[in-house]
Amino acid sequence: MIGKAMQDAMNEQINKELFSSYLYLSMAAYFEERNLPGFGHWMRLQEAEERVHAMKLYDYILERGGKVTLKGIDAPKTEWKSSLEVAEEVAAHEAKVTASIHALYELALKEKDYPSQVMLQWFISEQVEEEKNAAEIVANLKLIEERGTAVMMLDHRLAKRGAE
Protein backbone atom coordinates (compact mmCIF):
# COMPACT_ATOMS: atom_id res chain seq x y z
CA MET A 1 0.00 0.00 0.00
CA ILE A 2 1.30 3.43 -0.92
CA GLY A 3 1.58 5.93 1.92
CA LYS A 4 -0.60 9.04 1.97
CA ALA A 5 2.32 11.46 1.63
CA MET A 6 3.67 9.64 -1.43
CA GLN A 7 0.19 9.26 -2.92
CA ASP A 8 -0.49 12.98 -2.53
CA ALA A 9 2.90 13.94 -3.99
CA MET A 10 2.42 11.62 -6.96
CA ASN A 11 -1.03 13.06 -7.58
CA GLU A 12 0.59 16.50 -7.68
CA GLN A 13 3.16 15.15 -10.14
CA ILE A 14 0.38 13.79 -12.36
CA ASN A 15 -1.00 17.34 -12.51
CA LYS A 16 2.46 18.70 -13.39
CA GLU A 17 2.91 16.12 -16.14
CA LEU A 18 -0.53 16.90 -17.59
CA PHE A 19 0.25 20.63 -17.47
CA SER A 20 3.52 19.88 -19.31
CA SER A 21 1.51 18.03 -21.94
CA TYR A 22 -0.85 20.97 -22.31
CA LEU A 23 2.02 23.48 -22.46
CA TYR A 24 3.83 21.48 -25.14
CA LEU A 25 0.65 21.18 -27.18
CA SER A 26 0.33 24.97 -27.01
CA MET A 27 3.92 25.25 -28.20
CA ALA A 28 3.16 22.83 -31.06
CA ALA A 29 0.28 25.09 -32.11
CA TYR A 30 2.59 28.13 -31.97
CA PHE A 31 5.04 26.47 -34.36
CA GLU A 32 2.44 25.01 -36.68
CA GLU A 33 0.74 28.42 -37.00
CA ARG A 34 4.12 29.76 -38.19
CA ASN A 35 4.59 27.06 -40.83
CA LEU A 36 7.25 25.19 -38.85
CA PRO A 37 5.81 21.68 -38.96
CA GLY A 38 9.04 20.03 -37.83
CA PHE A 39 9.13 22.05 -34.63
CA GLY A 40 5.42 21.35 -34.24
CA HIS A 41 6.06 17.62 -34.74
CA TRP A 42 8.75 17.64 -32.07
CA MET A 43 6.48 19.45 -29.62
CA ARG A 44 3.61 17.03 -30.33
CA LEU A 45 5.93 14.13 -29.50
CA GLN A 46 6.96 15.91 -26.31
CA GLU A 47 3.28 16.43 -25.48
CA ALA A 48 2.53 12.73 -25.94
CA GLU A 49 5.48 11.74 -23.74
CA GLU A 50 4.19 13.91 -20.92
CA ARG A 51 0.80 12.17 -21.07
CA VAL A 52 2.61 8.81 -20.90
CA HIS A 53 4.49 10.04 -17.83
CA ALA A 54 1.23 11.11 -16.16
CA MET A 55 -0.35 7.74 -16.87
CA LYS A 56 2.69 5.88 -15.56
CA LEU A 57 2.20 7.65 -12.21
CA TYR A 58 -1.58 7.18 -12.40
CA ASP A 59 -1.22 3.43 -12.91
CA TYR A 60 1.46 3.16 -10.25
CA ILE A 61 -0.73 4.80 -7.59
CA LEU A 62 -3.55 2.38 -8.41
CA GLU A 63 -1.21 -0.65 -8.44
CA ARG A 64 -0.12 0.29 -4.92
CA GLY A 65 -3.70 0.51 -3.66
CA GLY A 66 -3.83 4.30 -3.64
CA LYS A 67 -6.36 6.84 -4.85
CA VAL A 68 -5.80 8.99 -7.92
CA THR A 69 -7.07 12.53 -7.43
CA LEU A 70 -7.04 14.65 -10.57
CA LYS A 71 -6.96 18.41 -10.27
CA GLY A 72 -7.55 21.27 -12.68
CA ILE A 73 -4.88 22.11 -15.21
CA ASP A 74 -3.86 25.74 -15.62
CA ALA A 75 -4.06 27.32 -19.06
CA PRO A 76 -0.65 27.35 -20.76
CA LYS A 77 1.08 30.29 -22.33
CA THR A 78 0.22 30.71 -26.04
CA GLU A 79 2.60 33.35 -27.39
CA TRP A 80 6.38 33.58 -27.62
CA LYS A 81 8.74 36.00 -29.35
CA SER A 82 10.78 33.39 -31.19
CA SER A 83 11.61 29.73 -31.64
CA LEU A 84 14.58 30.27 -29.34
CA GLU A 85 12.32 31.64 -26.59
CA VAL A 86 10.12 28.54 -26.86
CA ALA A 87 13.14 26.22 -26.71
CA GLU A 88 14.54 28.07 -23.71
CA GLU A 89 11.17 27.76 -21.98
CA VAL A 90 11.14 24.01 -22.71
CA ALA A 91 14.62 23.68 -21.20
CA ALA A 92 13.63 25.67 -18.10
CA HIS A 93 10.40 23.71 -17.76
CA GLU A 94 12.22 20.38 -17.99
CA ALA A 95 14.61 21.56 -15.25
CA LYS A 96 11.57 22.30 -13.05
CA VAL A 97 10.14 18.85 -13.77
CA THR A 98 13.51 17.29 -12.89
CA ALA A 99 13.51 19.14 -9.55
CA SER A 100 9.98 17.88 -8.89
CA ILE A 101 10.96 14.28 -9.67
CA HIS A 102 13.99 14.61 -7.39
CA ALA A 103 11.72 15.85 -4.60
CA LEU A 104 9.49 12.80 -5.11
CA TYR A 105 12.52 10.54 -4.87
CA GLU A 106 13.66 12.31 -1.70
CA LEU A 107 10.20 11.73 -0.22
CA ALA A 108 10.40 8.05 -1.17
CA LEU A 109 13.75 7.84 0.63
CA LYS A 110 12.36 9.61 3.72
CA GLU A 111 9.28 7.37 3.76
CA LYS A 112 11.40 4.24 3.13
CA ASP A 113 9.11 3.53 0.19
CA TYR A 114 11.40 1.18 -1.71
CA PRO A 115 9.00 0.34 -4.57
CA SER A 116 8.54 4.06 -5.31
CA GLN A 117 12.30 4.58 -5.26
CA VAL A 118 12.69 1.90 -7.92
CA MET A 119 9.85 3.27 -10.07
CA LEU A 120 11.14 6.83 -9.80
CA GLN A 121 14.55 5.77 -11.12
CA TRP A 122 12.90 5.51 -14.54
CA PHE A 123 11.73 9.12 -14.30
CA ILE A 124 15.17 10.30 -13.16
CA SER A 125 16.79 8.67 -16.20
CA GLU A 126 14.07 10.06 -18.48
CA GLN A 127 14.67 13.60 -17.24
CA VAL A 128 18.39 13.38 -18.04
CA GLU A 129 17.40 12.68 -21.66
CA GLU A 130 14.72 15.39 -21.70
CA GLU A 131 17.07 18.07 -20.40
CA LYS A 132 19.79 17.02 -22.85
CA ASN A 133 17.43 17.20 -25.84
CA ALA A 134 16.10 20.62 -24.86
CA ALA A 135 19.61 21.98 -24.26
CA GLU A 136 20.76 20.77 -27.68
CA ILE A 137 17.89 22.56 -29.41
CA VAL A 138 18.60 25.77 -27.51
CA ALA A 139 22.29 25.51 -28.46
CA ASN A 140 21.44 24.86 -32.12
CA LEU A 141 19.04 27.80 -32.28
CA LYS A 142 21.70 30.05 -30.77
CA LEU A 143 24.15 28.86 -33.43
CA ILE A 144 21.57 29.60 -36.10
CA GLU A 145 21.17 33.14 -34.74
CA GLU A 146 24.92 33.68 -34.59
CA ARG A 147 25.77 32.22 -37.96
CA GLY A 148 22.66 33.04 -39.93
CA THR A 149 21.97 29.40 -40.83
CA ALA A 150 18.38 28.69 -41.81
CA VAL A 151 15.97 27.67 -39.06
CA MET A 152 14.45 25.42 -41.68
CA MET A 153 17.45 23.06 -41.47
CA LEU A 154 16.80 22.49 -37.78
CA ASP A 155 13.09 22.25 -38.46
CA HIS A 156 13.79 19.51 -41.02
CA ARG A 157 15.89 17.56 -38.51
CA LEU A 158 13.22 17.79 -35.82
CA ALA A 159 10.61 16.53 -38.27
CA LYS A 160 12.56 13.29 -38.66
CA ARG A 161 12.36 12.36 -34.97
CA GLY A 162 10.34 9.20 -34.51
CA ALA A 163 8.05 8.33 -31.65
CA GLU A 164 10.05 6.53 -29.02
Residue 11 lies in a domain: yes
Quote the pTM value.
0.89
Contacting residues for 4 by C-beta, under 8 A, at least 6 apart: none
pLDDT by position in tens, the chain (length 164): 999 999 999 999 999 999 999 999 999 999 999 999 999 999 999 999 999 999 999 999 999 999 999 999 999 999 999 999 999 999 999 999 999 999 999 999 999 999 999 999 999 999 999 999 999 999 989 888 777 666 767 777 888 887 65
Least Cα distance to 39 among 139, 135, 131, 161 occurs for 161
- Please count the CA atoms within 13 angstroms of the CA of 36 that sit on its side-chain side: 22
Number of independent structural domains in the chain: 1
Residue 9 lies in a domain: yes
Which CATH number do you get for residue 152? 1.20.1260.10
How far lies 67's CA from each of 57, 134, 145, in Å?
11, 33, 48
Q: What is the model's pLDDT at position 22? A: 98
Residue 164 lies in a domain: no
Distance in angstroms (rounded) separating the CA atoms of residues 18 and 99:
16
Distance in angstroms (rounded) separating the CA atoms of residues 116 and 124:
12
Distance in angstroms (rounded) separating the CA atoms of residues 127 and 33:
28
Residue 85 lies in a domain: yes
Which structural domain, as residue segments, surrounds residue 101? 4-71+80-159
Q: What is the model's pLDDT at position 53? A: 98
Q: What is the model's pLDDT at position 154? A: 76
Q: What is the model's pLDDT at position 160? A: 84
